Amino acid sequence: MQLRDYQQEAVNAVYDYLRNREGNPCVVIPTGGGKTPVLATICSDAINLWDGRVLVLAHVKELLEQTAGTLSRVAPELDIGVYSAGLNRRDTDHSVIVAGIQSVYKRACDLGAFDLIIVDEAHTIPPDGEGRYRSFLKDIQELNPHLRLIGLTATPYRMTTGMICAPDNLLTDICYEVGVRELIVQGFLCPLKSKAGKQKADTSGLHLRGGEFIASEVETLMDDDRLVSSACTEIIEQTADRNSVLIFAAGVGHARHIQTLLQQRSQQEVGLVTGDTPAGERTELLTRFKGQTVKSDMFGGVKSPLKYLVNVNVLTTGFDAPNVDCVVLLRPTNSPGLYYQMTGRGFRLHPAKIDCLVLDFGGNILRHGPVDALQIKERDSGTGDAPAKECPDCHAVIHAAYSVCPECGHAFPPPEREKHEDKASTAGVLSGQVQDTEYKVYDTRYSMHVKRNAEPGTPPTLRVEYELGFRYWQSEWICFEHSGYARTKAETWWKARSHEPVPDTVEAALAMIEAAGLAETEAVTVRSVSGEKYDRIIRYQLGPKPPRLDGSDERDDVSLPEHAWPGDDIPF
């Protein structure tokens, strides 16, 4: 078996750790990056080089079955057995045993001694599930006190929050990790892109339980006629050139709602898989979604491949459909692991796709960050800082409970109960991803702005706010009273919009604006760079300049047909 360079590095890192350190190492390789060849190599070396024996543990039956099948294909020379009550297999005499922890945690003595235990998809071990593993390890170590434990995962954190590796955890250290972006650049994973559009999902009304949003609340919020309707319309529009669209819903009722509307509007069959879908029907649906036809009757009829497949908490970890070229997140999650696992269904390469489109209607990219630079936090103990918000007028960061800003008097609107975005987020699914989006400008506001906590004597700026959509405003700051490049930039901005002389102060600028001395901004192009906190305006579409306020025909001598600036940061 020929390993890729990073896979061989992972194997070497495991061996180095086992030779030189105590504890239990974990290998992190992205979804689609090939963990099974690493697993197979470690098993093969343990058996053929060191005359050892390996137990591979999985947490759920589906993972167990998939791991055993994939391992047999990748390393057919290995003597592989399965121990699982759910699969009605109880093999005990093989060199490699793939087992479900639920089936073996009280039967260590039945299996015999092992030299290595490998936990596949280690992130699926729930905190309360570690007890079973610890109990089993204690018993199995009586047969071999030198037994070592290894973990494999794409996401080294809980499906809720918190890292899985810690001194007191089952797995103690990450011994090797390779990132999503690195494997995309090397051509081993499919490039990702996210949909242009701009509105945040408001999940402020949701409560957490065990680190995740309460499922019943999420489905109640998500399953709204207007919002599901608008999302389905956008899905159809954005996936016209896509072949396999995998949709994650918030609950069974929500999923059926999506299925019904998509079928009506797309005039195509839409598959639905839930935890209650019968095994035979589920297999048929997944086969068709992977691009294959299946027989429909004894007379040679067939069912064609499915373009759309909706699922509820089923097709995350372990689901392998390389042809997926669009992932739709129609549910919010507070779990960085679940966000990664859903997005990761599109990581794999396939001859029929160039990239994978991610449509995020749950604000997940904004909540967790780009998928290759996730913002991981430990589970909230309840003793941290109170939730906060930023005042849109003075930018004061205040307690979330304030309805009126104590610093400037801004009145916050009552919280909206938006169920999910009716447009997919523009946030980049990969760090550094650039997204330019043009918006119509519905309203423009001008005001004097003084930077919060500024030193005495710091000059004010003109704050310009553009309304680009429902509750979506984009701001910029024009520095008339600064010097150097900031002043030059302000002059260029003003001359593109007015025949009046460039004002020296913000107060003078506001007076001329109030007197209708400035052209209207009809549209702007906003640049979003994932991983960066703020978007910025890079281009404008302006209306005609108004006549001089004094009635003269004098015009400025600057011609600026292209109203665009370099992407420099504002120097204040």
The residue type found at 169 is N
Q: Which residues pair with 358 in a beta bridge?
A: 194, 327
The pLDDT mean for the chain works out to: 82
Asked whether residue 428 is domain-assigned, the answer is: no
- Whether residue 413 lies inside any domain: the answer is no
Is 415 inside a domain boundary?
no
Domain annotation covers residue 78: yes
Residues 95 and 198 in one domain: no
| 377 Cβ contact list (under 8 Å, min separation 6) | 161, 162
Query: Are 131 and 68 members of one domain?
Result: yes
What is the number of structural domains in the chain?
3
Q: Are residues 158 and 252 in the same domain?
A: no
By percentage, how much of the chain surpasses pLDDT 90? 40
Mean pLDDT of 395-400: 45
Tokens of residue 66, six digits: 């998939």
Q: What is the pLDDT of residue 2?
A: 87
89, pLDDT greater than 80: yes
Tell me: the pLDDT tens digits for 362-379? 888 878 877 776 666 554
Q: Which residue has the tokens 């955890």?
A: 169
Does 98 share its domain with 223?
no
Task: Give the best-scoring range by mean pLDDT among 26-40, 291-305, 311-325, 522-536.
Answer: 26-40
What's the burial of 138, exposed, middle or buried (CB within 10 Å: 0-12/13-18/19+)? exposed
Average pLDDT over residues 55-65: 80
Contact 56, 96 (CB under 8 A): yes
Residue 404 lies in a domain: no
Domain residue limits at 486: 434-542
What are the residues whose beta carbons fall under 8 Å from the beta carbon of 453, sequence distance 6 or more?
none
**Same domain flag for 393 and 504:** no
| pLDDT the model gives residue 409 | 60
In-domain check, residue 213: yes
Q: Is the domain of 222 the same as that of 366?
A: yes
Residue 520 lies in a domain: yes
Q: What is the pTM of this model?
A: 0.66
Which of the four pLDDT bands, split at 50, 70 and 90, describes residue 200? Answer: very low
Higher pLDDT, 232 or 559: 232
Domain with residue 259: its CATH number is: 3.40.50.300
Residue 558 lies in a domain: no
Residues 349 and 256 grouped into a single domain: yes
Among the candidates 178, 201, 231, a domain finishes at 178
| Buried/exposed code over 508-518 (b: 16+ C-beta within 10 A; e: otherwise) | ebeebbeeebb
How many CA atoms are closer than 13 Å to the CA of 83, on its beta-carbon side? 25
Whether residues 196 and 171 share a domain: the answer is no
